[in-house]
Structure 1
Amino acid sequence: MNAPWNPARAATRDPFVAFVCDESTAEALRPIVDEMGWQPEKVNRGGLRNAVQTLSVSASPNILFVDLSESGDPLNDINSLAEVCEPGTIVIAAGQVNDVRLYRDLVASGIQDYLLKPLHPEQIRESLSQAQATLNAPRVSDSASVERPHCAIAVVGARGGVGASMLSTSLAWLLSNGSRRTTALLDLDVHFGTGALSLDLEPGRGLTDAIENPSRIDGLFIERAMVRASDMLAVLSAEAPINAPIITDGAAFHQLQEEMRGAFECTVVDLPRSMLVNHPHLLSDIQIAVVVTDFTLAAARDTIRILSWFKSNAPATRVILVANRVQQPALQEISRKDFEGSIERKIDVAIPFDPKVAAQAAKLGKSLAEAAKGNKAFAPLNDLAAQLAACAGDDPVADRKGKGRKSPAGGGNGESLLGKLGTIGAKLAAKKKTQ
C-alpha cells in the first residue's frame, strides 16, 4: 500500500497471508485458501495488531486478509496497516460492524473488500477470486499508454496576476472534458494555490503530506490524496499555513509527476515561476510549457528572461506563448505588435478579457473554460487545449527547429526594453508618414 517498495523483498512475496482474531474465522478461511492453491498455514492468529507487527519486518503478500474484530478504530488502524504494506498489496478486511458508512470509508481508504462476520464460504470464495483477478488483470494505464502516450504540460506565469492558474485549471478541464483524457492538475503553489479553490473543492493535505514524506508517494497515495473534480479530472492542491515554510529539495514534486505519469493520460502542472530557479529539474519530463503573459512592460521584460531560460535549460520542451486577458488596444499598456517586437517572437494564442465571464466562473466554482462554454470569443482557449491534447505525437525539438524562430532572449545588444519599444514605435510612425 503505502510502504516504500523494497525490490529485494519482491521475489519473496507470499501469494496470500491472513491474520484473524478467532479460530472459527480461521476454520472458515483455510479450506477456501487451500482450494485457491495457497498454503492454509498462512492463516495466522492475532488480527490487525499482529499484521502490522509482522509486515513491518517482512515482505507484504500479494493478497492480505485481516480481521478487524478487535479494533476499536478500524479506519485509523487500516491507515496504520497501510504504512507497512508495500505497493501492490490487495487488502481484504473482515469485521463485526455492520455499517454502510464504515464500508465506504474502508474501501475509500484503499482496501479491496470488507466482509461481515460470521463468514460464509461463498462470500470468502467470491472475495478472494475478485482479488486474484484484480492482481492478474493488466493495468489500464499500461494499455492506455500504448495508444495515448502521456502528455505533460507546465503552465508558467511571466508575472503574478497574468492568470496562469486560471489558465491551468481551464486547460485541465478542457483536456478531461473535451478530449476525454484522464487528467491530473498539480498545483505547486503550496501556500497560495487556487487549483482546488477555483473548482469549488477542498484541497486536503495530500500535497503537504507528500512534501513532508516523499517515501510515501506511490499509486495508492495518489489515489487517496487527489481530489476528484469529475470522473476524468483529479486535483492535487494545498493551502499550507503561511507560518510554515516549505523546505524541500523538490524530490517530492518530481516523484508526484512520475506517479501521475503512470496513473493519468495528461498532467497539467501549475508551476510558479520561482520553481524555475529553485527546482529546474521539474521541467525534465515536461513536453510543453505554456508561458502566460500580458501586454505590460514588466511582463515583456520577464517573458524575455523566461523564454531565454527555457532555451538554455529545457531545450527539448516546446514553449507556447499565451497572451491572457487581452483588452482593447486603447486599454493596453503596450500594443501587441510592440510587445512581439520587444521579445522577438510572435504570440501563439491570445485569450480575451471578459470580466463578466470571469466573475461568473468564480461565483459558480467553475473553470473559466466551463463558464465560457459556447462563447465564441474564447475559441482560442479551446484551440489551445486541442493543440495540447495532440502534443504526445509531436517532436518538440523538430517542431521548434522547423519554425525557425529567432532567439527568444532578445535585447542582446544591451539596449533597454523601454528604448527598444520606443524605437519600434518610431519606426511604425515613420512608416505611416511615408504612406
Structure 2
Amino acid sequence: MSAIDYEIEDRTQATERHAAEPVRPSDVEGLRPLPRISIHAFCISERVQRVMEQCAHDRRMNRVSLRITHGNIAAAANMFSSTPTPNLIILETDAQPSAVLEELSPLAEVCDPSSRVIVIGRHNDIALYRELMRNGISEYIVSPFSMADMMSAISAIFVDPEAEPLGKTIAFIGAKGGVGSSTLAHNCAFGISTLFTTETVLADLDLPFGTANIDFDQDPATGIAEAVFSPERLDEVFLDRLLTSCSEHLSLLAAPSLLDRGYDYDRAAFQPILELLQRTAPVTVLDLPHAWCEWTRTVLSEADEIVITCAPDLANLRNAKNMIDALRKLRPNDKQPHLVLNQVGMLKRPEISPQDFFEPLELEPVAIIPFDAVLFGTAANSGRMIAELDAKSPTAEIMSQLAHLVTGRATLKKPKKSGLGSLLGMLRKK
C-alpha cells in the first residue's frame, strides 16, 4: 500500500470526523495501475485532503509513494528549497485567478525541471487554465472533484495513452481447502478462451500442490516456478518458453507440484510475472491456494476481479465472512468479490441452506453449483473440462455464465430453469 506521511496532528481523529464520500467502482474501473512514482500533495482544505487519502488507499496506487501534507504553495516552496522534488507535486490554492501564477513563482525557482505539477483551484477560469498550461503546469483541476478525477489526471500524465491496454486479472480462491476453487478457475479460463476466442493465460499459483496440469492432462517441464525464482530473467521471450498450450487460445503457466524444496515467498514474489502477464495477455486467470499470507494478500489486492468459492458449512461461512471483510479494507474502491456456493446438495451431508449462508455475508451469490460427483469426477480423471464432457449440462451453463460475468461481457442467453437460474430463483423467493 502507498506510503503516506501526514503532517497534521490527530490525523486519525480528523479522518473519522470527515469521512470520505464513497467511490463508485464504475468510476475507477477503467483506470490503469500507476507506475512507481513519487507524489507529494499539499492540501489546505479537508475536502481535498480526503480525496487524496482515498487515492492513497486505492489498489492502482500500490506502487506509488504518496505523501500528503497540510499546507499551501508557500509551504511547498519552503520544503523543496532544501529537499529534492518528487515526480509529481499536487498543490491546492484558494487564490484569485490573477494571483495564482505569482503564488507559484517561489516554487518554480526550487522545483526540478523534470517534476510535474497539478494545481487545484477554486475558479473555473479558461484563461487561467491556458496561462497555467503555457507556464508548464501539467493539469489544473477545479474543486470540488472526485477521486476518479484525480486518478485520471495523474494517469494522463504518467501512463502512455498509446500503450497497449493492460490485460484483465481474475483471481480465484477458496474459503476453505477442497471446495472446488481450482476446478472453477480452470473451467472459467477454458470458457473465456473458447467462448470469446480470447487469448487467456491460466497461472497456477499453488506451486507445491497445483492441479492445473492434471486437469488439462499436461506434463510441462517448465512453469511458474522458473518465473518466481528467477525474476531477473523475465521477459516476453522467457515467458513464451514457460507457457504450455492447452487449446487454441488457452495457455498454462503450470505449478511444478513437487516437494523437493520449500516454497517460501516474500510479499512481492509474484508481482514481476503478473505485471508481465498483464502486458502480454488480454486475460489472466489466477488459481490461488487456500492461504492467507503477505503474498496472497498482495495478489488479491491487485486483481481486477476476485471469485471466492465456498461449500455450505459453518467453517466456510466463517472464512468467507472474514475474507470479504478483509478484502473490503484492502480494496475500498473496487467491486465486491464474486461469491460462488459449490457442492450444494451432497448426499447425507448436513448443510447450511443458501439463504442462511448468504444472509450474514451481506453479499448476493453469483452462482450456486449443485454437487455432481459423476460429472466432476469424470472430468478430473480424464483431464477434460465440464464443457467438453457435457456442454448442455446445467453445470456447463453456470461455467459459461461465470465466464461472462468476470470478463464484464453481456450474457449471451438466459440460464436454463435448472441449475443456476432455478437455484438463485429459489434463494430470492425465500
TM-score, with structure 2 as normaliser = 0.54
Return the alpha-carbon distance in structure 2 between the equivalents of residues 143 and 382 of structure 1: 33
| Structure 2 unmatched runs, 5+ | 1-160, 411-429
- Residues 283-307 of structure 1: CA deviation (Å, up to 9, x unaligned): 3431110000010111001000110
Matched, 1:259 2:287: no
The residue number in structure 2 matching 1:286 is 303
Match of 1:232 among 236, 242, 249: 249
The residue number in structure 1 matching 2:230 is 213
Q: How many residues align?
A: 250
The residue number in structure 2 matching 1:20 is none
Return the alpha-carbon distance in structure 2 between the equivalents of residues 317 and 262 of structure 1: 21
Q: Is the 8 A contact 1:329 1:335 kept in 2?
A: no
Against the structure 1 CA distance between its residues 246 and 324, is the aligned structure 2 distance closer, same or farther, given a 3 Å change threshold?
same
Return the alpha-carbon distance in structure 2 between the equivalents of residues 298 and 360 of structure 1: 28
The residue number in structure 1 matching 2:291 is 274
| Structure 1 unmatched runs, 5+ | 1-141, 393-431
Q: Report the alpha carbon displacement of residue 314 of structure 1 after superposing the two structures with TM.
A: 2.1
Q: Is the 8 A contact 1:179 1:389 kept in 2?
A: no
The residue number in structure 2 matching 1:81 is none
- Residues 351-407 of structure 1: CA deviation (Å, up to 9, x unaligned): 222111112212321123432312134422211111122269xxxxxxxxxxxxxxx
Return the alpha-carbon distance in structure 1 between the equivalents of residues 405 and 204 of structure 2: 22
The residue number in structure 2 matching 1:15 is none
- Residues 95-153 of structure 1: CA deviation (Å, up to 9, x unaligned): xxxxxxxxxxxxxxxxxxxxxxxxxxxxxxxxxxxxxxxxxxxxxxx99955xx62210
The residue number in structure 2 matching 1:189 is 206
* Greater mean deviation of Cα atoms: 334-343 or 271-280: 271-280
Question: Letter of the aligned partner of 1:280 in structure 2?
Answer: R
Return the alpha-carbon distance in structure 2 between the equivalents of residues 293 and 208 of structure 1: 28
Question: Letter of the aligned partner of 1:260 in structure 2?
Answer: L
Against the structure 1 CA distance between its residues 330 and 191, is the aligned structure 2 distance closer, same or farther, given a 3 Å change threshold?
closer
Question: Letter of the aligned partner of 2:373 in structure 1?
Answer: P
Match of 1:382 among 400, 405, 414: 400
Against the structure 1 CA distance between its residues 227 and 377, is the aligned structure 2 distance closer, same or farther, given a 3 Å change threshold?
closer
Match of 1:321 among 332, 339, 343: 339
- Residues 241-292 of structure 1: CA deviation (Å, up to 9, x unaligned): 3241023224341111111112211000011232554442223431110000
- Find the residue that maps to 1:200 and give its secondary structure: coil
Q: Report the alpha carbon displacement of residue 193 of structure 1 after superposing the two structures with TM.
A: 0.2
Q: Report the alpha carbon displacement of residue 342 of structure 1 after superposing the two structures with TM.
A: 3.0
Question: Letter of the aligned partner of 2:167 in structure 1?
Answer: H
The residue number in structure 1 matching 2:377 is 359
CA RMSD of the aligned region, Å?
Answer: 2.5
Q: Is the 8 A contact 2:245 2:252 kept in 1?
A: yes
Against the structure 1 CA distance between its residues 276 and 324, is the aligned structure 2 distance closer, same or farther, given a 3 Å change threshold?
farther
Q: Is the 8 A contact 1:170 1:370 kept in 2?
A: no
The residue number in structure 2 matching 1:299 is 316
Return the alpha-carbon distance in structure 2 between the equivalents of residues 240 and 379 of structure 1: 30
Against the structure 1 CA distance between its residues 362 and 238, is the aligned structure 2 distance closer, same or farther, given a 3 Å change threshold?
same
- Find the residue that maps to 2:399 and give its secondary structure: helix
- Find the residue that maps to 1:168 and give its secondary structure: helix
Give the structure with the higher percent helix.
Answer: 1
- Find the residue that maps to 1:274 and give its secondary structure: coil
Q: Is the 8 A contact 2:172 2:286 kept in 1?
A: yes
Return the alpha-carbon distance in structure 2 between the equivalents of residues 171 and 143 of structure 1: 30
Return the alpha-carbon distance in structure 2 between the equivalents of residues 287 and 168 of structure 1: 15
Matched, 1:150 2:167: yes
Which residues of 2 match residues 3-402 of structure 1 at below 5 A?
A: 145=164, 150-318=167-335, 319-327=337-345, 331-390=349-408
Against the structure 1 CA distance between its residues 267 and 350, is the aligned structure 2 distance closer, same or farther, given a 3 Å change threshold?
same
